[in-house]
Amino acid sequence: MSKEPTEQSLLVEYQAAQASAEHHDSLVWSVTNILWAASLVVFSFVLTKLGQPNLKGLLSVLSLIGVLLISYAWFCALQFSFIRNQKYKRCKVIEQKLGLKQHTELDHPVYFQRVLYAVLFMVMVVGWIFLIVFIWIS
């Protein structure tokens, strides 16, 4: 026999879900910033060493590391966003039960930011691929 949660327990759960959603959203951007910056540092290093035939292998490995850093950022962003969305979904369910409207009446384009993030991700990966090709044709 399931007991209905009290209004107080729903408010506590709501606060916890809201805090967790904000935390995971913050993680998306923190991880992205760190990994993209690391990738750009490696990219800059590789650029400074272009034209040195004895370093082709090393530069290729570093380029692969750059692609992996960018890809891991994408993976983390998807995972953290999934958790964030589940937490906000729970907030909306609680809002319906309590007659609140913080998230249920929010009107914004849902996928715009995600599309831009994906475009930036692809541009960075393509940049790395061009760099790898340039390493081997130069």
pLDDT at 41 over 90: yes
Could you tell me if residue 90 is inside a domain? yes
Could you tell me if residue 1 is inside a domain? no
Could you tell me if residue 29 is inside a domain? yes
Domains identified in the chain, total number: 1
Give the residue numbers spanning the domain of 11. 7-137
pLDDT at 1 over 70: no
Query: Sorting pLDDT into bands at 50, 70 and 90, what band is 58?
Result: very high
101 DSSP 8-state letter: -
Could you tell me if residue 82 is inside a domain? yes
Could you tell me if residue 2 is inside a domain? no
* Nearest residue to 99 via CA among 5, 22, 23, 7: 7
* Nearest residue to 70 via CA among 138, 16, 120: 120
Beta carbons of 21 and 91 less than 8 angstroms apart: yes
pTM score, whole prediction: 0.86
pLDDT at 106 over 90: no
For the four alpha carbons of 65, 129, 120 and 49, in that order, the dihedral sign comes to positive
